[in-house]
Amino acid sequence: MHSELNPDDDNAPICEPRLWRDDGWTARVIKNNDDEGWAVEMTRHGDAEPALTGPWTMGRDKKNPKPLDTSAFHTLVKTASEVLRRHEQQLHARLHKSLAVLTPGGRITVTLDIVPDDDDPHALLTATDAGSERLAQVRVNADFRFTSASAEAWVENGFRRFG
């Protein structure tokens, strides 16, 4: 029997052969549209989309899916959590970049922090000294070409605004 989850439900655990909900996650075994097999979706509570969708093992009868159990659920939670962690790390790496510029006065760290706002995408270019004191910050376009050369030029030109 297939039950739809409503976000207004209390998040009481469910332990059914094709639906398992616990620890902030829901595992749902579904028919795999690509072939004759089955798939499992792992969705973190509050997220609109599954964090992980993958093939699911057939049961002994070779027609129905293997039922979910505690061990499988915990393995799926661990795998889905790792997928989310990797996505977050990739997003962070794409939105936050850092370079060091060596000057006669010492090392200056220049960072670019992209703000992916739908209405006003932009980035902040920031310079800090070795003691982490902010020396300058300017707003630049979100597609600003952040390279060693552009960071060095900004420092050498006294942190003047671009454009």
- 52 part of a folded domain: yes
In contact, 80 and 25? CB cutoff 8 Å: yes
**What domain range is 63 assigned to?**
14-94
Number of domains, the chain: 2
Report pLDDT digits (tens) over 10-62.
678 999 999 999 999 999 999 987 777 899 999 999 999 999 999 999 988 88
Indicate the average pLDDT of the chain: 90
- 112 part of a folded domain: yes
Q: Which of 3-17, 92-106, 122-136 has the lowest mean pLDDT?
A: 3-17
Residue 137 has pLDDT above 90, yes or no: yes
Mean pLDDT, rounded, for 120-128: 95
**Which one is predicted more confidently, 21 or 1?**
21
Which pTM does this prediction carry?
A: 0.67
Mean pLDDT, rounded, for 147-160: 94
β-bridge pairing 38-44 and 52-56: antiparallel
- 70 part of a folded domain: yes
Shared-domain flag, residues 58 and 126: no
Shared-domain flag, residues 49 and 25: yes
Shared-domain flag, residues 63 and 132: no
pLDDT of residue 3: 43
Shared-domain flag, residues 78 and 19: yes
**Which one is predicted more confidently, 7 or 81?**
81
